[in-house]
Structures are given as structure tokens and as C-alpha cells.
Amino acid sequence: MLRKLLLWPLLAWSFSGYAADFSLEDTQGKAHRLTDYRGKWVLVNFWATWCPPCLSEIPELSSLHNAHKDRDLVVIGIAMDSGSGRKVTNFAAAHGISYPVVLGNRKIAAQIGELEVLPTSYLYAPNGEQVSYQAGEVTRESVETYIKNKKFN
């Protein structure tokens, strides 16, 4: 747990910068653009239905999203599964995923950043700056601690 808490701040120094505005469409047909969320933190999480660490962090991400979505943070999940979108939507419903889910591919991933392992999460500050990324699991606590300690206008 402590290791995860420390990785976010360390990675922020190496991977900060303004992102090009991404454009994603979730499984419900709703568009999500980074500019739509100015004033809020945005956590973009790459995952897959077959990935055990990804499944482990789903409750954490749902809890994080539910606690903050109406105030200061949103989570967007990008499922990197091949095949049927129905499989992903059924999986998301069965696992109580409360945040928007996008069906991912290489073109979508290229809008966000490098993707070498799953899960991988990218964190954007309220001003649109990419401030961190985490290869591996994240927790609600690690993200909340990170954003509490960062000040952005």
C-alpha cells in the first residue's frame, strides 16, 4: 500500500505535461473529451476483463468515481479487450463498474499515452495537464492523497 502511495508523486515529476485533447466514446454512446472536464481531475484507466490486477482495482475505481464525480474527479475506464463489445458491457454491469467504459484499441490508446502493461492509469489535473501515470494498480486512497497534495488553478 505504501509503495503505491509513493509511486504517484514520483511519477508526476517524470510524466507531466499538457495532453492533446482526447475524444472517447463510451459504451453508452456518450462522448468524453478532456476539455469537457476542465475544473475536475480525470483518471483514465486502461484495463481488460481477463486481467487479475485490473479486476482487483475495479471496486477502488468505482468507489473513487462515486465519491467525487459530482464534485472534483471523474474516472474513465478503457477496456482493452478484443472481440465483442457486449462481453465488456456485460462484464462491467456484472462487476458494478459505475464509471464510463470505453472500448479501447491502439488508436484510442495513442490519444492518451504509452500502454505497456495492464492496468495503467493516467491522471490529468483540473487544468488539463497530465500530472502522473501509474503502470499497475491504483487505489482510491493513493489517488485522493495525490490530489489532496497537489494544487492547481
Buried/exposed code over 97-106 (b: 16+ C-beta within 10 A; e: otherwise): bbbbbbbbee
Three-class HEC string of 114-137? CCCCCCEEEEECCCCEEEEEEECC
Splitting the chain (153 residues) into consecutive groups of 10 residues, what average pLDDT does each group show?
A: 41 47 94 96 97 97 98 97 90 97 94 94 96 96 94 61
Residue pair 33/117 in contact by the 8 Å Cβ criterion: no
Dihedral (CA of 109, 88, 120, 19) sign: positive
Question: 48 CB contacts (<8 Å, ≥6 apart)?
Answer: 54, 79, 80, 81, 118
Quote the pLDDT of residue 84: 80
Quote the pLDDT of residue 48: 97
- The DSSP 8-state label assigned to residue 40 in this structure reads S
What domains lie within the chain, and their CATH numbers? 2-17+37-149 (3.40.30.10)
Cα–Cα separations (whole angstroms), residue 82 to 32, 44, 62, 123, 126: 21, 19, 23, 25, 32
Cα–Cα separations (whole angstroms), residue 142 to 5, 9, 19: 5, 10, 22
Global pTM reads 0.86
